[in-house]
Chain A
Amino acid sequence: MAVSSNNSMPTPTPEEPSITSHSNGSPPFDIVKTYNELCRTDPLLTHPIAAIEALISLLAASPVDTISETLSLLSTATTALKSSVSNPIALSAGTDLFQRYIISTLQQRSSQDAKGRSRRNLAGGTEDFRAVLAHLLANSRLFVQRANEARGKIASVARKFVRDGSTVLTCGRSRVVAAVLEATADENVRFQVIYAEDPLPSSPNSTNIVNNLRRKDVPVAVIPFAAMATVLSRADFILAGAESVVENGGVISSMGTYQMGLLAKSKGRPFYVVAESHKFVRVFPLDGGDLPIKGMGIEFSTENEEGKGMHEEGRRKERDLCVEFTPPELITAIVTENGVQTPSAVSEELIKIWY
């Protein structure tokens, strides 16, 4: 690596001349900060896409000259990013996808180049790499753009599930669910929504499905989460969002989804999950305890907390346990921008990406 950066010194590059020093020189690019900033500024941005955007900005800001340098930079940034959040799965869907994409693009390009030019032309090679990188960055922006458009596509597919006179049960703050229901309301379909309220205080940035739907003249009933089983018989089907979709077709989503799935199964109601395909992630949990998420365990204690309310402990746990795993056998179908899929199709989609 050192040799190649020395070689690239004399070549005129549009970047700063700080190429010889590695990423610890110059103002260091803080990937975690960028990621958090992206998540904060754009509430519609999903975690995987935010991660991809952060990685793109990292690549754009970092002077790299070789493929292996790029890859090692990406992997260190990814590790830093993953360790900064409590649930790295959603994020890793994006970083894995991006890494895969970079590798396959670079391999394609380099194999083309190997045919075209002689190997010894090192300076030319570096310049060529820059061109490849620029092309790659431009393409990846396109990729991000497409991923953001996915929500609209899902809405157009999934709204066919909502028929005139039907009642939809949903919970959580999924942006895709909101998009689907709002798109359906725009189509002048007369339907009702039962919204099971999450006991977690919602952050000001999260989309408020209830308000948005009522604004569009859709009758919404808000129920406490505990009333779900009672109310379920009134609903025609259940619509849920997801943070990640794992290899066996199960989903990782906000607390309460698993309960909802279990109830839906026992009451014979269809349980649809709407999620963009970039949320597919190569993780195969056997059950909820098999997830690489911090704070998923429960602690037993014989000591009462002094001077605090009864629920303080539960509240804290609630914050930690923000996501859970819903197994595939509870899910009727997963709606992605590619159409309606059975949970078992997820694995095939993932294999297609990785092989």
Chain B
Amino acid sequence: MAPSANVEGELAPAQDIESSEKPLENGAKEQVVPATSEDITAPKGKAKTANGAQQKGKPSEGSKDGKPSGKELKEKAKAEKAARRAQQKGRQPGQQGQPIVDLGPEKQKNADTRRPSVAGPAPTTKIQHKRTGSASGGAQKPIQFRPVQAHAAPISEEPPKENKNVALFDHLYGNPRRNTVAGASKDVHPAVLALGLQMRNYMICGSSARCVATMLAFKRVIEAYITPPQNSLPRHLTTHLSSQIDYIVSCRPLSISMGNAIRWLKVKISEVDVTTEESEAKADLCNAIDSFITEKITVADQVIARRGIEKIRDGDVILTYAKSSIVQQTLVEAFRQGRKFKVIVVDSRPLFEGKNLARALTDLGLEAQYSLTHGISHVIKDATKVFLGAHAMMSNGRLYSRVGTALVAMTAKEADVPVIVCCESIKYTEKVALDSFVHNEVAPPEELITQGETSSPLSKWLDVPNLQLLNLMYDLTPAEYISMVIDESGYLPPSSVPFMQRLSLNT
């Protein structure tokens, strides 16, 4: 990160260094000559940036506190963070960039006093925001109108744009997903560049697939990596990876499994002995990544499939929702072993992942029935077991999976059909979630518009007043609806997930 700042030397990088250095309480000397002091302060600066990147990784997963909470401290931290992010990503200057640039010098002034409680410029901007919102909302349109800090037009004379975000999920919107590789940091490896866009377009989709693809891309990053002079691999490679991760996040937020894998990789990198030859260290890391993928995903999937088959009996009707690679593997394996069963694939808009599953199963010769979610209460009567995939398992035993899963699980519970979740332990997280509102991912609402149909009623939704589209990616299934979780260590009740999560961390 630091080297990139040096190259792009304009007003922005200097500001970046200054603002990032402040919390460190470094002396004024380093601020005066950042370029020369780089070598001396390298370790500190690096540790800091890595830290910052991690902090940043989290909110982008969904908990961006976008609400104008009124707390000045939060506001200030946010502005600081936004400014840093704007420079690191080299985002194209647009409407969103504007307020950040404005905030920069103000913050600097404010930072001299370093007292957030003093009435400085920051609160003023906040008040300004509020005023803009209430004034325009009240005067011109009788609709509910709430400006978001990023989207709010600073001048009230312009015709106010309607906020198309659904208010309840306002905190989840974040920055719009990246469409092109333009403006990506020059550090980002081509493999990662491609991967980000593939994930964005759902060409690589599914928690495990994304995790594997990310780790393979990082392997190539590591292979191509050369430690800059006067840096050590364990220290510098982590920051180098962080810029790759930032890029991926800008395309689509990280999945839980990716987060877990990246955390593992960072620990592995930090464990590399400084005295190791670089080529040797890189080879070791690549091997570690390979065995990680084999152990945590490939073999885990095989074991889970084997255990899942044991629960499929002749005459069963297996209902599944959308498409999970591990559920597909289980069903295909069971069919190959000669089990006689039927499959009902329940699917939903906008991704229609279940179509692929139904096609794959029928191609094999399995009897499959395809239905959309609105038919669930009907098809559940025929089902004897429900198999579900997972995006993540929370520490309170709840399942975080493709939106609609909770509905299927609830219906199954109501109909007394056992619900089985297949989930690799890499998808366990120590996070706890109680509802689907706090943590979630909002996909671009345009995906809801039926493709290929110009006369789709939704195609002009942006011009329709009072219309907001919500395209949530995930939902949360309560643990009571889940009869069993199958992971690579065996059958578990959902309540044992935190226990296994801790266990898999230790090994």
- Taking CB atoms and an 8 Å cut-off, the chain A residues in 237-295 that contact chain B are 247-249, 282, 284, 286-287, 290
Q: Closest CB of chain A to B254's CB: distance in Å?
A: 29
Give the number of residues in B that approach A within 8 Å (Cβ atoms): 17
Give 5 closest A-B pairs by Cβ, nearest first: A344-B495, A284-B491, A286-B418, A347-B496, A248-B493
A351 contacts the other chain (CB 8 A): yes
Provide the A316-355 mask, 1 if CB < 8 A to any CB of B, else 0. 0000000000001100000000000000100110010001
- Which of B311, B489, B491, B496 touches A344 (beta carbons < 8 Å)? B496
Indicate the member of A284, A290, A344 with the most B CB atoms within 10 Å. A284
Q: Which residues of A contact B420 (CB under 8 A)?
A: 286
Q: Closest CB of chain B to A84's CB: distance in Å?
A: 23
B155 contacts the other chain (CB 8 A): no
Q: Closest CB of chain B to A246's CB: distance in Å?
A: 10
Query: Does A355 contact B493, Cβ atoms closer than 8 Å?
Result: no
With A248-B484, A286-B420, A290-B311 already in contact, the answer to whether A351 and B493 are too (CB < 8 A) is no
Q: Closest CB of chain B to A165's CB: distance in Å?
A: 34
- Which of A287, A328, A329, A347 touches B418 (beta carbons < 8 Å)? A287
- Taking CB atoms and an 8 Å cut-off, the chain A residues in 40-65 that contact chain B are none
Q: Closest CB of chain B to A114's CB: distance in Å?
A: 23
> What is the CA–CA distance of A287 and B417 in the complex, to the nearest angstrom?
9
Query: Does B493 contact A247, Cβ atoms closer than 8 Å?
Result: yes
Q: Closest CB of chain B to A284's CB: distance in Å?
A: 4
Q: Closest CB of chain B to A217's CB: distance in Å?
A: 42
Query: Does A328 contact B493, Cβ atoms closer than 8 Å?
Result: yes
B483 contacts the other chain (CB 8 A): yes
Provide the B490-507 mask, 1 if CB < 8 A to any CB of A, else 0. 111101100110010000
B398 contacts the other chain (CB 8 A): no
> What is the CA–CA distance of A344 and B492 in the complex, to the nearest angstrom?
9
Q: Closest CB of chain B to A27's CB: distance in Å?
A: 39
> What is the CA–CA distance of A150 and B472 in the complex, to the nearest angstrom?
53
Q: Which residues of B contact A329 (CB under 8 A)?
A: 480
Query: Does A286 contact B496, Cβ atoms closer than 8 Å?
Result: no
> What is the CA–CA distance of A284 and B483 in the complex, to the nearest angstrom?
10
Query: Does B493 contact A286, Cβ atoms closer than 8 Å?
Result: no
Q: Which residues of B contact A348 (CB under 8 A)?
A: 496, 499
A-B contact count (CB 8 A): 40
B240 contacts the other chain (CB 8 A): no
Q: Closest CB of chain A to B191's CB: distance in Å?
A: 37
Q: Which residues of B contact A347 (CB under 8 A)?
A: 492-493, 495-496, 499
Q: Closest CB of chain B to A120's CB: distance in Å?
A: 34
Query: Does A286 contact B484, Cβ atoms closer than 8 Å?
Result: yes
Give the number of residues in A that approach B within 8 Å (Cβ atoms): 15
> What is the CA–CA distance of A355 and B496 in the complex, to the nearest angstrom?
14
Q: Which residues of A contact B418 (CB under 8 A)?
A: 286-287
> What is the CA–CA distance of A346 and B496 in the complex, to the nearest angstrom?
9
Q: A345 — nearest CB in chain B belongs to which residue?
A: B495
B385 contacts the other chain (CB 8 A): yes
Query: Does A286 contact B500, Cβ atoms closer than 8 Å?
Result: no
Residues of A at the B interface (CB closer than 8 Å) are 247-249, 282, 284, 286-287, 290, 328-329, 344, 347-348, 351, 355
- Which of B311, B480, B492 touches A286 (beta carbons < 8 Å)? B311
- Which of B311, B491, B499 touches A247 (beta carbons < 8 Å)? B491
> What is the CA–CA distance of A344 and B496 in the complex, to the nearest angstrom?
7
Q: A289 — nearest CB in chain B belongs to which residue?
A: B313
Q: Closest CB of chain B to A270's CB: distance in Å?
A: 19
> What is the CA–CA distance of A210 and B484 in the complex, to the nearest angstrom?
39
Q: Which residues of A contact B385 (CB under 8 A)?
A: 286
> What is the CA–CA distance of A248 and B497 in the complex, to the nearest angstrom?
12
Q: Which residues of A contact B489 (CB under 8 A)?
A: 351, 355
Q: B480 — nearest CB in chain A belongs to which residue?
A: A329
Listed A/B pairs (10) with beta-carbon separation below 8 Å: A247-B492, A248-B483, A282-B490, A286-B484, A290-B311, A328-B493, A329-B480, A344-B493, A344-B495, A355-B503
Q: Closest CB of chain A to B287's CB: distance in Å?
A: 26
Indicate the member of B385, B420, B480, B484 with the most A CB atoms within 10 Å. B484
Q: A286-B418, A286-B483, A329-B480 are in contact. List 12 more A-B contacts (CB 8 A).
A: A248-B484, A249-B493, A284-B484, A284-B490, A286-B385, A286-B420, A328-B493, A344-B493, A347-B495, A348-B496, A351-B503, A355-B503
Q: Which residues of B contact A287 (CB under 8 A)?
A: 418
> What is the CA–CA distance of A290 and B418 in the complex, to the nearest angstrom?
11
> What is the CA–CA distance of A247 and B500 in the complex, to the nearest angstrom?
14
> What is the CA–CA distance of A36 and B395 in the complex, to the nearest angstrom?
45
> What is the CA–CA distance of A290 and B385 in the complex, to the nearest angstrom?
12
Q: A287 — nearest CB in chain B belongs to which residue?
A: B418
> What is the CA–CA distance of A229 and B490 in the complex, to the nearest angstrom?
38
Q: B416 — nearest CB in chain A belongs to which residue?
A: A287
Q: Closest CB of chain A to B496's CB: distance in Å?
A: 4
Provide the B34-54 mask, 1 if CB < 8 A to any CB of A, else 0. 000000000000000000000
Q: Which residues of A contact B496 (CB under 8 A)?
A: 344, 347-348, 351
> What is the CA–CA distance of A248 and B483 in the complex, to the nearest angstrom?
8
Provide the B237-267 mask, 1 if CB < 8 A to any CB of A, else 0. 0000000000000000000000000000000
Q: Which residues of A contact B492 (CB under 8 A)?
A: 247, 347
- Taking CB atoms and an 8 Å cut-off, the chain B residues in 472-489 that contact chain A are 480, 483-484, 489
Q: Which residues of B contact A282 (CB under 8 A)?
A: 490
Q: Which residues of B contact A286 (CB under 8 A)?
A: 311, 385, 418, 420, 483-484
Q: Closest CB of chain A to B51's CB: distance in Å?
A: 34
> What is the CA–CA distance of A341 and B493 in the complex, to the nearest angstrom?
15
Q: Which residues of B contact A344 (CB under 8 A)?
A: 493, 495-496
Q: Which residues of A contact B500 (CB under 8 A)?
A: 351
Q: A329 — nearest CB in chain B belongs to which residue?
A: B480
Q: Which residues of B contact A328 (CB under 8 A)?
A: 493
Q: B498 — nearest CB in chain A belongs to which residue?
A: A348
> What is the CA–CA distance of A286 and B385 in the complex, to the nearest angstrom?
9
Q: Which residues of A contact B491 (CB under 8 A)?
A: 247-248, 284
Q: B503 — nearest CB in chain A belongs to which residue?
A: A355
Indicate the member of B418, B496, B500 with the most A CB atoms within 10 Å. B496
> What is the CA–CA distance of A347 and B484 in the complex, to the nearest angstrom?
11
Q: Which residues of A contact B493 (CB under 8 A)?
A: 247-249, 328, 344, 347
- Taking CB atoms and an 8 Å cut-off, the chain B residues in 284-317 that contact chain A are 311
